[in-house]
Chain A
């Protein structure tokens, strides 16, 4: 496959550059740049090829068939690239390679590049082990399409932002290792490391926040934060890179801190890979609400993790004697002490999150697997966070003048975020049955359920409510067979916060199935049906594409002829429900026998009946939740401002 050949080219040149950087004392800059850019070129080519395959609807490729379909809107065809594990690894590699090419042009130290491109080679191997270019073992005419839950703007942009963060965190790691391997006493790398880590931190943060915002505006994900392994595995590197940032800044002034700065760089990047291992190896299959498909790639990621962690610590161990010795702070009243203490508190929080998310793995090693619940995280991190807040306020008051503008903005954003987390959790939550057009009072709001509306093509359904007279709708995306595929709440936003309305799917038990034989009269209790004719269209490969039935329905007086169809799709079929006899009946064709002699019809509640149904609804208020979105944006903004100092 061309895609794998491109990846192989990317791997070969990345490995070649690694060898060049370690074997040569002083390789020519043009050779380095040429090799780095060629490697990136191959990887860009393989990525463009994957997009091309997706846009060409090439379902002969398993990945394309699993995550795309011919009807998928353009935006989601772009994001189908990273909808699955194979593609998200390729995305990571792509961003890593582009950053690598930039590093080579910026004349980064040779050994640093050597480390960076070693990681690039490892990532390329991971992509090749589970390649998105594998041919599809079965022949399909249509793809499954992107999970409707992921068909959302925020979910489309969330993975690239996170992976930019992950890829960028390799830079401070490579800089740290490169420095240890050459001029241990030099401080020059710290300025570069500071900028790259700030950039990485703002992207990683933005990725987490976007993911949280998305999780808030869909149902079934447990709100903006659920302490799920997938969420935790990005939180731990975010916390540790915050520590790394502070230590880099501190060691520029106090060089005796450089040792633990190297330790922080090693652990930060190790935990990026560890998180990937935990969530992508399938090892947590039983413990996460995110069902990731299990994979054979676990061992490979674990090896990569060991390489970074053990390799990094070994290099540090052998160079430790050359590092500057000395006190990290003179007295407790110094700013250095406050910063170091703050770092320690953040590490404590990171350790707690790490312990919680690793518990299934750790307990499995010693015996019976076990897990912790969300309360563990909240209960354990809250007191430490409270001390951290006090420390930040104290540092602001006492040492405010040494904090840069960007730093001030980011810290204010951080405090705002914590305040918003606490305040927004103080709302009320009520679950009860909502009858159409009946007013229910929740936390001072008048809420009325107005019934359901269907979108044009019956792939969407809306639960309509009014909150204090203002109309809001909760969208439910439907599958081809009419069942719920993805659900969203109705949210009324204003200054005091959100009113968050989550309708629960009604139990439709009144569905009746009618089996009809050609030209025979059938009854559903009230109305008569005659199945008159049927037709199945086949494609060139003699596979059914579309089935049509001709049925006459009568209430005794009026006769109505309908021609419902079933269109075959990869995930089954799509059959539109049809309203007949002026909305008195709603039916959907669900099957035709291959000899065209029998047809099956589903008798559904009419739209009017559906709209009159009582809907169990959970209503909650989220006071000042906008402060959370504002604060996290302020954190990212402050961090970006801090880059240019």
Chain B
């Protein structure tokens, strides 16, 4: 009885955690993969400074550039421009690509600034 109870509990938990995990996990992909995938992904890149950033009342958009290949993709984020966006050295957009308006709809933006925790190295 005791063992059966534990086994049921453990199996239940493994199943529960597994299902939740499978639903929530979003792979890290390149811009090209994000465009062909269409599902929920995370894309890391740099801000393309040659394209405009635009803020309307409930949407912020900018162009993300792949660090390696230089490919670009327009990103639309539901919300206002995140703090420290201008200082970002990397931007991670979480969301999915919509082919109808040829843009990546981000649910979340991670802004990575070099000075956030560790100090910057002194310049020579």
Contact = CB atoms under 8 A, between A and B. Distances in A.
Interface residues on A, range: 35 or more
A376 B24 contact: yes
B117 A504 contact: no
A293 B44 CA distance: 18
Contact of A375 (B16, B17, B24, B113): B24
B80 interface: yes
A572 B115 CA distance: 14
A368 B29 CA distance: 8
A535 interface: no
B28 A286 contact: yes
A369 B110 contact: no
A84 B116 contact: no
A289 B112 contact: yes
A505 B112 CA distance: 17
A286 B44 contact: yes
B28 A291 contact: no
A291 B113 contact: yes
Interface in B64-122: 79-81, 83-84, 87, 90, 92, 94, 108, 110-122
A363 B114 CA distance: 25
B116 A289 contact: yes
Nearest to A505: B83
Contacts of B122: 65-66, 136, 138, 140, 143-144, 570-571
Contact of B80 (A147, A371, A431): A431
A355 B84 CA distance: 29
B83 A219 contact: yes
A149 interface: yes
Nearest to A220: B83
A314 B49 CA distance: 56
23 contacts: A65-B122, A85-B118, A136-B122, A219-B83, A220-B84, A290-B117, A291-B116, A292-B117, A292-B118, A293-B118, A329-B2, A351-B17, A360-B28, A369-B27, A370-B27, A371-B26, A372-B24, A373-B26, A373-B94, A376-B20, A431-B80, A483-B87, A572-B123
Interface of B: 2, 9, 13, 16-17, 20-21, 23-29, 42, 44, 79-81, 83-84, 87, 90, 92, 94, 108, 110-124
Given A144-B121, A220-B83, 18 more contacts: A84-B118, A143-B122, A144-B120, A147-B117, A286-B44, A286-B92, A291-B113, A291-B114, A327-B2, A356-B21, A370-B28, A372-B21, A372-B26, A373-B108, A376-B25, A380-B16, A380-B17, A487-B83
